Structure 1
Amino acid sequence: MIRFALRLTLSGGREAVTRLVIIAGAVAVGVGMLLSVVAGMNAVGAQNLRYAWLNTAVAPPSSDTSTDPMWWLVREDYHDGHSIGRVEVAASGPAAPVPPGLPRLPGPGEFYVSPVLGELLRSTPAAELGDRFPGREIGVIDRSGLPSPDSLLIVIGRTPAELEQLGAGRVTQIMTTAPSDCDGCYVGLNADAMTLVLSVVAAALLFPVLIFIGTATRLAATRREQRFAAMRLVGATPPQITGISAVESTVAAIVGTVVGFGLFLLLRPGLAAIPFTGERFFTTDLSLDAVDVLWVGLGIPLGAVVASWLALRRVRISPLGVSRRVTPKPPRPWRLIPLVAGLAELAYFIGRRPDSTDGQIAAYISGFLLTLTGLVLAGPWLTMLGARVLAGRASRPAPLIAARRLSDDPRAGFRSVSGLIVALFVTSVATGTITTFVANRGEPRTDSVAATSLVKHFRPEDGPAPTPDQIPAGLGAVPGVRSVTLVHTNPDPDGWRGLVTCAELDRLAVFGSCPDGAQVAVVADDLIGMRAFDLTSDTYRWEAAAVAPADVDRQPILSVVVDTTSRAGFERARTMLANAFPLGRFPASVGEWESNSARQLTQFQQLANVIMLASLPIAGCSLAVSVVGGLSDRRRPFSLLRLTGVQLGTLRRVVALETVVPLLTVAAVATGTGFLAAHLFLRAQLGYPLRPPDPPFYLMVVGGLAVSLVIVASTLPLLRRITGPEAARNG
C-alpha cells in the first residue's frame, strides 16, 4: 500500500507535483525559521557566557593556593555613543590568572584591544580617544574573550600601586559563570528575557507555517476525495485510505525538512549579523545541538503530517459519502470558549505575576497560545456571523450567493484567511507591547542637550571634590565646546543635589531657567535630570534655592557639565576630563546612559519586525493557495452557472466576497484581540496600560489587507479559463 501511495504521490501528474512542491516549500520555511529561532536562543547563551569574565570582580575567592592574586578594575567608557569595556589589571605574582582571549597579562604600559577598537584607535585622532589609554598596544584580544565581533574592549596593564589608588579590588580567579546564572554580576545580557521573547517568536512563526501546510494539502481536495471514495467502493479500508493520504504529506515533510536545514545553513551568516541583543553574533554562535536537531527534525514533519491529516480527515468517509454530501453543521458558540479562556488566563496574572522567569514563560506563553488557538477556532463562527450580516443587506445575486456559500460552510471560508489572521494577531501583540515599552521608558534624544552635553560626576567615595583650579584650564578653549559649567552641592538634602546661579543659567540658555525673582536654582547634577525624556526647549523652570549667589561657590563641586556643538569637541573634552579625574565613572552624556537602558527596547522592536515581515508573506502565500484551490474544486459548479446565463463578472464578485467577508470580519477581531492580549500582559508583567500604536502600524495593517485583496484579484482571471463548457461534462 505504501508503494501504491508513493506512486500516486510522485506520478500523479502536474497537480500532484505542484501540491507536493508547495507542501515541501511550506515545511522548508517552517524548519528554517524554527531552526533560526532555536539557534538564536543558543547564540544568546553563547554570547552571554563570553561576558562572564568581565564580572571577575564578583568571583568568589579561589581555593587554589598556587594562584597569585591580581588587581582588577572594570569600568565603562564611551566613544561616539558606543560603550567601551575598560579592564585594568596588575599581577601580584607570576601565577596570576589570565582572562580568556589573552596569551598573558599585559604589563605596566601595555594593553590588548579588541579588533574593532584597534581599528578605531588607528582611525581616530589621539586627542579624541587614544590619549585616554596609557601605554602601547601589544596584541589583539582573541574571539574567546569577545562577546561579539563588534565588541569594544581594552585590557590595560598597570602597577599594583596605581590600581590600588584607583580603588581596584583583588581577585584570585576569573569568573566563568554566565551573567544570567550569577548573583551580583553586572555585565552581560538578560538572557532569560531574551529566551522569553524568542519563545514567543517561535510560536508566532510556527502557526502561520502549519496553516500554510494544511492549506496546501487541501489543493484539489474535492477530486481527491472522489478518488478516495472510488477506492473505498473497490474495497479499500479507512486505515488504508488514511495511510495513502498521509504518505504524500510524509514525503513532502521529509523533503521540506532537508531543504529547511539547508536553508538555515545558507541564512546563518546573515542571521548572525542581526544585532537583536545590541551586538552581532559570531556565526558559530548560531549552533544546534543533537536535541535541537531531533526536536525540529522530527517535530516539524510530525506537525506537518498532523496538519495534513486534519485537513483531509474527510477522506475517511463512507464510499457513498462524496456523492451524498450534505451541508455541514454550523459552528457553535462553544468555539469562543478557548479564546475567552486564554484572555482570562492573561487577566488572572494581573497583580499575581510569577516571581521566576520559568513561571512567567509558562503563564504568558500558554495564555498567548490559548488565545491564538481560540481565535483560530472561533474564526468559522465569526465568519458565519459576517455571512449572515451580508445576506441581510444583500440586494444583488453575487452577495446573496457568496453569503449562502459562506453560511453553508463557514469553515472553508475562514480557512483561506486564517494564516493572515494569525499574522495580524501576532503583529498586534508585538507592536502594542513595544509601543507601550517605548512610551513608558523613553528613548534617548540625539537632538537635545541630553546628548550634546558631557557630565563628569564627583562622588564622595571617589575622594575629595576637586577645586576650580583643578578643572583643566584648556577645557573651555577646545573647538566645539560651547560652555563649561560647575555644578555645586546643594546643602539641602531634600531638594535636587545641585546648585547653579540664575545668572549662569541665563548665560547657558539651554538648560532651563529660574523662577521669576530667584537668584539661585536647585538643579540636577547633570543639569537635565528627568527632563531627558521630554526635553525639547529651554523653557523648563527649576525650583529656587534658599542660598545666596555668593555662597554657591563655597559649596563643593558636584559635577562638571560641558556642552558641545560637535562630536570632535565632545570627545576631546571627554578625554581631557578622563585624564584629569581618573577615579570613578568616566564622563558621559545622559543620552549615552539612556541608550543602554533603551537597547533592549530596540532589540524587541527588531524581533517584532521579524515576526511581521516573516508572517505576512507566509499568510499571503496561504491565501493565494487557498483561493486557487477553491477555484479548482468548484470549476464544474461554476461552469454550470455560466451555462445557465450567470455572467462571469458575477462569479468573480462571488469569489471576491467569499474571501473579503471573512478577511475583514476576523481581521478586526484579531487586531482587537491582539491589543487586548498585549494590554493584559503589560498590566500583569509591568503594570503599564496599553498605549495605542503609532499610525505606521495601521498603515501596515491596511497595506497587508490591500495586498491580500490584490492576491485574490490576481486569481480571478483563472475563472474564465477553468469554467468553460467542457468543465461541465461529467467525467
Structure 2
Amino acid sequence: MIALGLRLAVAGGREAATRLVVVALAVALGTGLLLATLAGINATKTQNLRYTWLNTGVAEASTASRPGVDPVWWLGRENYFRGEELLRLDVAATGPAAPVPPGIPALPGPGEFYASPALHDLLRTVPAPQLGDRFPGREVGVIGDAALPSPDTLLVIVGQTPQVLAAQPQAAQVSAILGGEATCRRCIVGLNDTMFTISLSVIAAGLIFPVLIFIGTATRLSAARREQRFAAMRLIGATPRQVSLLATVESTVAAAAGALLGFGVFLAVRPGLAAIPFTGATFFPSDLTLTWVNVLSVAVGIPIGAAVAARLALRRVRISPLGVTRRVTPKPPRAWRLIPLVAGIAELAWFVGRKPETTNGQTYAYLAGVVLMVAGLVLAGPWLTMRAARLVAGRAQRPAALIAGRRLADDPMAAFRAVSGLVVALFVMTAASGAITSYVAERAQPTAGSVEATSLTANFWPEDLVPGTPTPSVSDIPAELSAIPGVRAVLAVKEGDLQRARDSAIPEGPGVIACADLAKVPEYGACPPGAQAVAVWNDLIGPREPGVAPDERIWPQSAITDLDSRRMLSVVVQTDGSDAAKESARTVLATMNPWGMFPATEAEFQADSAQTLVQFQHLADVVILASLPIAGCSLAVSVIAGLTDRKRPFSVLRLTGVRIRMLRAVVGLETVVPLLVVAAVAIGAGFLAATLFLRAQLDYPLHAPGGGYYAIVGGGLIASLAIIAATLPLLRRITGPETARNE
C-alpha cells in the first residue's frame, strides 16, 4: 500500500502532480518562515548572551580571586554619541597572566585602545572634538565580533596603568571574564535572564503558532478531491485502514518535499534577516543559526504533522462501502465558548484596586488572566465567526453575500481554523504595545526639541571623585565650552542642603542655584518673587510634574546664601540641539571629571532606562507584521483548496449563467470576513487586557499607540488581502465548461 500511495502521489496524472507541487511549495514557504522564526529567536538569545562579558566586575564570579591568575583592574561605564549608547571599558593588567576580554588579542597598554568596527568608522569620519578626543592614545586594533552584541555596537577598550585605575572608586579587580550562560544579579548591560526567557517564550508562541496553522492548512489541500478517490477505492474493496494509509503516504510525500525546500528558503532569506533590527540592533548572520533540536523537530515534525492531519481530515467525511460520500454539517458552536474569555476579563478586572502585594503574586494573577483570555479567544473564534456570517447573510443585498454568509455559518470551524493563529499573535502583541506605549507616555518621554533633549549635565558626585582630589570649581569650567557653536548657556549648580532634600515631604533637589543665573535661561523654570537662590535638581530638570512644563516650573526658595563657598555639584550646558554642539560639549565636559559619569541629556537617561521596553516593542511589531501575512497565506491556501474542491459546482454555475465576478465575490467574502472578524476581536481584547493591567498594576490610563502600530496592522492586513486577491484569478482557469463536462 505504501508503494501504491507513492505512485498515486507522484504518478497520478497532471492533477496529482499539480497538487503535489502546490502543497510542497506551500509547505516550503511555511517551513521557511518557521525556520526563520526559530533562527530569529536563537539570534535574539545569542545577542543577549554577547552582553554577558560586559558585566564583568559586577558579578561575584568575576571578582573572586583565582590561583595563577593576575587580576585586571576593570572599570566599565556608559557613554553616548548622537543618542546611541557607547560603551567604554578601561582596563589595566597587573601581570602577564591577566585574563583577556573576547575579541582582542591582548589587553591594551597605557595610551592604547581598541575600537569596535562601527566606532572605528566613526573615528575616521567624525571630527575629533566631537568624539575622538574622548579616548586618550592611539587605536591599536579593531574589536572582533566575538565581543560585540551587534555589528552596530559602539564599544571602546582603553588601556590604563594599574596605579590610575586602582585610585578610582568604581574600579574593581577581576580574575575571570564572564562568558556563556553566566548571569549576575546586578547586570548593567543586557536583559534579565528570567524576564528575557519568559518574554521570548510569549513572542515565540505568537510567531510559531500562526506558521504551524499555515503548514497544517497547506497539507489539507484538495482534501475533498482525495476523499472522492478514496470512496471509489472503498467501492472496489479497500478497507478504511488501507485508505487512511494511502492518504497518509500522499500527504507525507508532499510535506517532506516541502520541508526540504523550506530549508533552502531559509538559507536564501537568512542574510536579509540579519539586517532587520528585531531588538533595536542588527544581528550577525552567524547568529541566525538552528540547533540540532530545531532541525530535527522541523524535518521530522512537519511530515508527521502532515500524516496526522491527513488522517484527521478523513474523519470529517464518512465513506460507505458503496462509495457514497456524505458530508455531515457540523453542529453550530454554542455560546458557552465565551465562558473562558469572560472569565479572563473578569479575573483581570478583579485586581483593579486589589493588586497583589508580592511580585510572584502579581505575575501569577496577570498571567492567569492573559492565558484565560487567549484560550477564550481561540475557543470563541468559531462562534464569533458564525455570528458574523449570519449577520452578513441576514443583511445580504446581493447573491454573493448570501451564499458566502450561509456557507460560513454552516461550517465556521473550518473558516476560523485558517486564521486561529492570528488570534494569539494579535492579542498578545496588541496588549504589549498598548501597555508599553502607555507606560512610555506616562513617563513623559522627551521630544527631540525639548530641554531634556538639548541640555547636557556633567555631575560631580563625591563618591565618583578620586579620594584626596579637589572638587572641580566654577573656575575649572573650560573657557572653550561657551565658545562651541550651538552652546547657548553654561550654568553651575552648587551643592545644597542634602539632608533637607532627603527629609523634605515635597521632593526637593540636592542642588542650589542663584536666581540671577537661572533668570538667564528661562527654559529651566523660574524663582519665586523675592528669592535670591532656589533649590534645584542637579540637571535643572528633575522629576517632571504632571501638567507642568520645565519652563513653567517655580523652584522652591533656598535659605542658603554662601553660594560662592559651596562645592560644585554639576554643570548644565544648554545647546541648540544639534549633534555637533552636543557632542563637542560632551567631549569638553568629560575632561573635567574623566572618571565619573559621562555627561548626558535627560532624554538619553530616560531612553536608556526604557531600552528593555523598546526592545520588546520592536519584537511585538515584528510579530504583528509577520503574523498578518502568514494568516493571509493560510487563507490563500484555504481559497485554493476550496476552489479545487468546488470547481465542478462552480463550473455548473457558470454554465447556468452566473458571472465569474459573482463567484469571485463569494470566495472573497468567505475569506475576508473571518480575517477581519478575528483581527478586530483580537485587537479589541488586547487593548482591553492592557487597560485592565495598567489600571491594576500602575493606575495608568491606556494611551493609544502611535501611528506606527496602526501602520503595521493596516499594512499587514492589506498584505494579507493582496495575497488572497492573488489567488482569485485561478477561479476562471479551473471553472471552465470543460471541468463540468470532464467530471
Provide TM-score, normalisation by structure 2.
Answer: 0.86
Q: Post-superposition shift, 1:562?
A: 0.9
Structure 1 contact 214–311 (Cα < 8 Å) conserved: no
Percent of residue pairs bearing the same amino acid type: 59
Q: Report the counterpart of residue 480 of structure 1 in structure 2.
A: 486
Q: Report the counterpart of residue 575 of structure 1 in structure 2.
A: 587
Deviations 1:194-238, CA, capped at 9 Å, x for gaps: 333332232222232233234334433333222111111222222
User: Which one is further off, 101-110 or 393-402?
Assistant: 393-402
Alpha-carbon distance in 2 for matches of 1:648, 1:403: 18
Does 1:336 find its partner at 2:338? Answer: yes
Q: Report the counterpart of residue 460 of structure 1 in structure 2.
A: 462
RMSD: 3.7
Does 1:258 find its partner at 2:260? Answer: yes
Gapped regions of structure 2 (runs ≥ 5):
none
Q: Report the counterpart of residue 30 of structure 1 in structure 2.
A: 30
Alpha-carbon distance in 2 for matches of 1:346, 1:240: 51
Structure 2 contact 31–215 (Cα < 8 Å) conserved: no
Alpha-carbon distance in 1 for matches of 2:546, 2:113: 38
User: Which one is further off, 570-579 or 419-428?
Assistant: 419-428
Alpha-carbon distance in 2 for matches of 1:700, 1:154: 36
Q: Report the counterpart of residue 590 of structure 1 in structure 2.
A: 602
Q: Report the counterpart of residue 552 of structure 2 in structure 1.
A: 540
Q: Report the counterpart of residue 8 of structure 2 in structure 1.
A: 8
Q: Report the counterpart of residue 527 of structure 1 in structure 2.
A: 540
Alpha-carbon distance in 2 for matches of 1:718, 1:268: 31
Q: Post-superposition shift, 1:581?
A: 1.9
Structure 1 contact 179–189 (Cα < 8 Å) conserved: no
Q: Report the counterpart of residue 17 of structure 1 in structure 2.
A: 17
Q: Equivalent residues in 2 for 1:266-277 (5 A)?
A: 266-277=268-279
> Which of 620, 625, 637 is matched with 1:625 structurally?
637
Alpha-carbon distance in 1 for matches of 2:236, 2:724: 39
Alpha-carbon distance in 2 for matches of 1:306, 1:5: 16
> Which of 381, 389, 392 is matched with 2:391 structurally?
389
Q: 1:456 to 1:344 in 2, by over 3 A?
A: same
Secondary structure at 1:193 match in 2 = helix
Alpha-carbon distance in 2 for matches of 1:704, 1:126: 45
User: Which one is further off, 331-340 or 1-10?
Assistant: 331-340
Structure 1 contact 513–538 (Cα < 8 Å) conserved: no
Q: Report the counterpart of residue 230 of structure 2 in structure 1.
A: 228
Q: 1:395 to 1:384 in 2, by over 3 A?
A: same
Structure 2 contact 170–464 (Cα < 8 Å) conserved: no
Q: Which amino acid in the other structure matches residue 20 of structure 2?
A: L
Structure 1 contact 51–179 (Cα < 8 Å) conserved: no
Q: Post-superposition shift, 1:419?
A: 5.9
Alpha-carbon distance in 1 for matches of 2:451, 2:22: 56
> Which of 110, 115, 118 is matched with 2:117 structurally?
115
Q: 1:111 to 1:65 in 2, by over 3 A?
A: same
Structure 2 contact 77–87 (Cα < 8 Å) conserved: yes
Q: Post-superposition shift, 1:638?
A: 4.2
Q: Which amino acid in the other structure matches residue 17 of structure 2?
A: V
Structure 1 contact 416–622 (Cα < 8 Å) conserved: yes
Alpha-carbon distance in 1 for matches of 2:308, 2:358: 34
Q: 1:233 to 1:321 in 2, by over 3 A?
A: closer
Q: Post-superposition shift, 1:585?
A: 0.9
Structure 1 contact 459–558 (Cα < 8 Å) conserved: yes
Structure 2 contact 625–713 (Cα < 8 Å) conserved: no
Q: Report the counterpart of residue 177 of structure 2 in structure 1.
A: 175
> Which of 566, 570, 573 is matched with 1:559 structurally?
570
Q: Report the counterpart of residue 500 of structure 1 in structure 2.
A: 513
Does 1:56 find its partner at 2:47? Answer: no
Alpha-carbon distance in 1 for matches of 2:265, 2:413: 33
Q: Which amino acid in the other structure matches residue 480 of structure 1?
A: G
Q: Report the counterpart of residue 47 of structure 1 in structure 2.
A: 47
User: Which one is further off, 720-729 or 303-312?
Assistant: 720-729
Alpha-carbon distance in 2 for matches of 1:462, 1:706: 55
> Which of 696, 705, 709 is matched with 1:693 structurally?
705
Q: 1:526 to 1:231 in 2, by over 3 A?
A: same
Q: 1:11 to 1:336 in 2, by over 3 A?
A: farther
Q: 1:5 to 1:586 in 2, by over 3 A?
A: same
Q: Post-superposition shift, 1:366?
A: 8.2
Q: 1:258 to 1:722 in 2, by over 3 A?
A: closer
Q: Post-superposition shift, 1:605?
A: 2.7
Alpha-carbon distance in 2 for matches of 1:516, 1:265: 70
> Which of 68, 76, 81 is matched with 1:79 structurally?
81
Does 1:470 find its partner at 2:476? Answer: yes
Q: Which amino acid in the other structure matches residue 488 of structure 2?
A: R
Q: Which amino acid in the other structure matches residue 527 of structure 1?
A: L
Q: Which amino acid in the other structure matches residue 552 of structure 2?
A: Y
Q: Post-superposition shift, 1:559?
A: 0.7
User: Which one is further off, 604-613 or 701-710?
Assistant: 701-710
Alpha-carbon distance in 2 for matches of 1:539, 1:204: 44
How many pairs align? 727
Alpha-carbon distance in 1 for matches of 2:685, 2:156: 49
User: Which one is further off, 187-196 or 521-530?
Assistant: 187-196
Q: Which amino acid in the other structure matches residue 475 of structure 1?
A: L
Alpha-carbon distance in 1 for matches of 2:601, 2:486: 15
Q: Report the counterpart of residue 146 of structure 2 in structure 1.
A: 144
Secondary structure at 1:227 match in 2 = helix
Q: Which amino acid in the other structure matches residue 112 of structure 1?
A: Y
Structure 2 contact 455–572 (Cα < 8 Å) conserved: yes
User: Which one is further off, 230-239 or 396-405?
Assistant: 396-405
Q: 1:41 to 1:554 in 2, by over 3 A?
A: same
Deviations 1:230-257, CA, capped at 9 Å, x for gaps: 1112222222222222223212222222
Q: Post-superposition shift, 1:161?
A: 2.6
Q: 1:587 to 1:427 in 2, by over 3 A?
A: closer
Q: Which amino acid in the other structure matches residue 574 of structure 2?
A: D
Q: Report the counterpart of residue 512 of structure 1 in structure 2.
A: 525
Q: Which amino acid in the other structure matches residue 457 of structure 1?
A: N
User: Which one is further off, 406-415 or 454-463?
Assistant: 406-415
Alpha-carbon distance in 1 for matches of 2:113, 2:283: 25
Provide TM-score, normalisation by structure 1.
Answer: 0.87
User: Which one is further off, 646-655 or 560-569?
Assistant: 646-655
Alpha-carbon distance in 1 for matches of 2:538, 2:489: 16
Q: Report the counterpart of residue 605 of structure 1 in structure 2.
A: 617
Q: Report the counterpart of residue 246 of structure 1 in structure 2.
A: 248
Q: Post-superposition shift, 1:630?
A: 2.5
Structure 2 contact 39–288 (Cα < 8 Å) conserved: yes
Q: 1:235 to 1:372 in 2, by over 3 A?
A: farther
Alpha-carbon distance in 2 for matches of 1:349, 1:300: 42
Q: Equivalent residues in 2 for 1:80-99 (5 A)?
A: 80-99=82-101
Secondary structure at 1:530 match in 2 = coil
Structure 1 contact 47–285 (Cα < 8 Å) conserved: yes
Q: Post-superposition shift, 1:20?
A: 2.8
Q: Post-superposition shift, 1:45?
A: 4.0
Secondary structure at 2:591 match in 1 = helix
Alpha-carbon distance in 1 for matches of 2:215, 2:351: 34
Alpha-carbon distance in 2 for matches of 1:77, 1:711: 46
Alpha-carbon distance in 2 for matches of 1:718, 1:100: 57
Q: Which amino acid in the other structure matches residue 534 of structure 2?
A: A
> Which of 195, 204, 207 is matched with 2:206 structurally?
204
Secondary structure at 2:600 match in 1 = coil
Structure 1 contact 34–202 (Cα < 8 Å) conserved: no
Q: Post-superposition shift, 1:485?
A: 0.4
Q: Which amino acid in the other structure matches residue 193 of structure 1?
A: M
